[in-house]
Amino acid sequence: MDQSPAPPQAGRPRSEQARRAVLHAVDDLLVEIGYSAMTIKGIAERAGVGRQTVYRWWSTKAEILLEACVVDAAAELHTAVRSDPRAELVAYLRALNTFLTASPAGLGYRALIGEAQHDPAVRDLVRAANLLDASARPVLHRVRARAPEMPDDALAAAQLTGPVLTLILTAQDPVSERALRAHVVALLRGWGA
């Protein structure tokens, strides 16, 4: 009786499996070689798919990286509901701090922000995804009832995330817990909470 393993099945991998492999590959390559050295060819090779498979879903490496960031951010920036507005905002900012400084997706998002400064197509992608605004809105909606002076969602999200993003982009270090708490206290005071 032949005990050798069955040969691998020929054919194309399932589409969702290939898509996920590409998203994982772009995260890995970003950490290993950086955004500027990444290519569609390299992403496809790392994912174990053909370039035509990659181009079926994305036109550029920025589109791939942004999708990976958005998918990961949805999980990494989600926080549990808290009854206290201060605790709610601090928990979100802790998650944001970790995302931007320790997560491959956060590193990818920072790379895209940098690239967006001189590439209008990347700028349009980043703007359309609106990653930080989208992740902050559920938190802001939970706090809004106790913060009557909170501005519209877009401005409130910018007020919440902007200082943390700026500090991380310029210093590349996590923002201290003390600074996060002070930022939340000032925001809530300004929002009439």
Distance in angstroms (rounded) separating the CA atoms of residues 27 and 36: 13
What integer pLDDT is reported at residue 1 of this predicted model? 43
Who contacts 6 (Cβ-Cβ below 8 Å, separation ≥6)? none
What integer pLDDT is reported at residue 16 of this predicted model? 87
What integer pLDDT is reported at residue 14 of this predicted model? 54
What integer pLDDT is reported at residue 6 of this predicted model? 41
What integer pLDDT is reported at residue 2 of this predicted model? 41
The domains of the chain are located at 13-58, 62-190
What integer pLDDT is reported at residue 66 of this predicted model? 94
Say how many CA atoms lie within 13 Å of 29 toward its Cβ.
Answer: 24
**What is the value of pTM for the model shown?**
0.84
Domain 13-58, second-level architecture: Orthogonal Bundle (1.10)
Distance in angstroms (rounded) separating the CA atoms of residues 134 and 9: 41
CATH number of 62-190: 1.10.357.10
Helix (H, G, I), strand (E, B) or coil at 191: coil
**How would you classify residue 192: left for phi > 0, otherwise alpha for psi between -120 and 50, otherwise beta?**
left
What integer pLDDT is reported at residue 15 of this predicted model? 84
What integer pLDDT is reported at residue 5 of this predicted model? 44
What integer pLDDT is reported at residue 97 of this predicted model? 97
CA 192 from chain centre, in angstroms, equals: 30
Tokens standing for 186? 């000032």
Q: Which residues of the chain have pLDDT under 50?
A: 1-11, 13
